[in-house]
Amino acid sequence: MKNYFLILIIVISFLSCQRENSEFLGGSLNDQFGELVVLEPFKSNTANFNFSIVSPRFFEAQWSKNLNWSLSVRATQTGATKTFTGYSNKLDIDNASWDGSADDFPSFMKDDVCQATLTLSDSDTIIELTTTVNVSEIKNPQEGLKVVADFEDGLPVNSLPFVQSGAELTVTENSAAVGSNYLHLGGYVPYDYLLTSIKIPVQDMDIFSATSPLLLYFNMATIGGILGEVPANQFIKIIIREDDGSNLSNGEKYSMEINPVNWDTWQLFTLPYSDFVLESAPVNNLREPGKINQIEIMCLSCPAESAPDGPTCPENTDLIVKTDIDFIAFTQNESYKP
């Protein structure tokens, strides 16, 4: 009888244990070795994407295995692109919802016709699927956005351009980062670092009075030229002025350089105001977003022949500087979403 009691204890001891149930251990063999087959066709949930209203806008598809996929949406007119990536066996509202933003400048525009391409690839198969969607309305302005200049109506009112002989500062149409126009800065000035600059007044910054400089972002679209055709060391200097001086013109100045500007597609330059460095004599040495009253953009490059101060760069001889800009704006809490 005592033996049976012991046996009972043993039986109870292993019956009392339970394991968590999982489907299987490790990565799926189907994902590693299974055949890649499209199960549901690639499509958008609606043909026209209206980003100005709250409604679901996403792409759908399903295939036979989990894999790394890539979805690229490209506007045929503006060249704006939006890319999605992931690891799954389907596209749905959770992983392929689109809010109308682009990866970078240029932004999508109203009535853009976009081709969406889904690329599925495993170790031995690559499948590309395409569909088309139209942008019926662009996304609403980002919350906390303050546009300083978009050059759609020419130079901003009361802006102060400075152009050296041989330099160019012109509002140009076509292929803008946002909208239709952008500001071309460049030219050939072999005798000075500074080619051209523009001082743009900034108004109504009181809305950022309570914003920390850590959370106020300066944003600007920039584009250089094809390397070899432009100086490799061309650059932009940004000076932000505050009105905390004794008069309007002697407030604190904070600056930042984009050096070099060596890319040939529109790119977003974005930085918290707190990263700008003091360049003038200090007044209170505090970055105060609410007191910003001017932004100066300077186009610079190492001169090929002579310089008032500093070295020269003979390798820049006959190379035309190009540091175009567009869409200067401040945003709160996060960078601008093109």
Partner 1 sequence: MRLIAICFFVFTAITTMAQERLKKIEFYGAAKTNILHQGFDVDGDTMNVSKANYGHSLIDLGILVRPSANTEIATEFRLRNELGGFWGGAVTYGIRKLTLKGVVNDAIRYKIGDIDLEMTPYTLYNNNYQDVVNEATVFQMAREVIDYENYFSGNAWRQQGVQSSYGFYLNNETFKSIDVNLFSTRNRTADPSSASPERLFSGGQIGLNTSYGLITFHSANLFDLKNTVNDMNLYYNSVNTVSANISLADLPKFSLNYEGGTSKANYENLIEEETVTIQDYFWNLGLIYSPSNKLRLSVNGINTGPQFSSPAAQNVRLGYSSSSNVFPTIGNNLAVRNMGLIDYLYNDVFYYKTFDSQLDLYNPAFSNALPYGLATPNRKGFSVSLDELAIKEQLNLSSEIHLMSEIIGTGTTQLKSFMKFVAKANYDYKKWSANAGLAYESTSRDGQAYEMIELSSMLFDFGVDFDLTDQLSILFGTKYHMADGNELLAVYDSYNNPLYFDPISYNDQKQMLNSIGFMVNFSERSKLTASLSSFSQKAEQEYTFNQLQLLYRLNF
Count of CB atoms situated within 10 Å of the CB of 249: 10
Residue 144 as a binder of partner 1 (CB under 8 A): the answer is: no
Q: Minimum distance from CB of 25 to partner 1 (Å)?
A: 5
54 phi, psi to nearest 5 deg: -85, 110
C-beta of 106: minimal distance to partner 1 in Å? 39
Please, which of residues 32-71 interact with partner 1 by CB under 8 A?
A: 32-34
User: For residue 81, with 0-12 CB atoms within 10 Å meaning exposed, 13-18 middle and 19 or more buried, which class applies?
Assistant: middle
Least Cβ distance, residue 9 to partner 1 (angstroms)? 9
DSSP labels, 123-178 = SS-EEEEEEEEEEEEPPPPPTT-EEEE--TTSSPTT-EEEE-TTEEEEEEESS-SS
Establish if 123 lies at the interface with partner 1 (CB under 8 A): no
- Exposed / middle / buried, residue 147 (Cβ in 10 Å: 0-12, 13-18, 19+): middle
Number of residues that bind partner 1 (CB under 8 A): 21
d(CA 73, CA 107): 12
> Is residue 259 a contact point for partner 1 (CB under 8 A)?
no
CB of 18 to partner 1, least distance (A): 9
Specify the pairing of strand 167-173 against strand 181-187. Answer: antiparallel
To partner 1, the closest distance from the beta carbon of 64 in angstroms equals: 11
Q: Is 7 in the site for partner 1 (CB under 8 A)?
A: yes
Site string for partner 1, 11-30 (x = CB under 8 A): --xx--x-x--xxxxxxxxx
Binding site for partner 1 (CB under 8 A): 2-3, 6-7, 10, 13-14, 17, 19, 22-30, 32-34
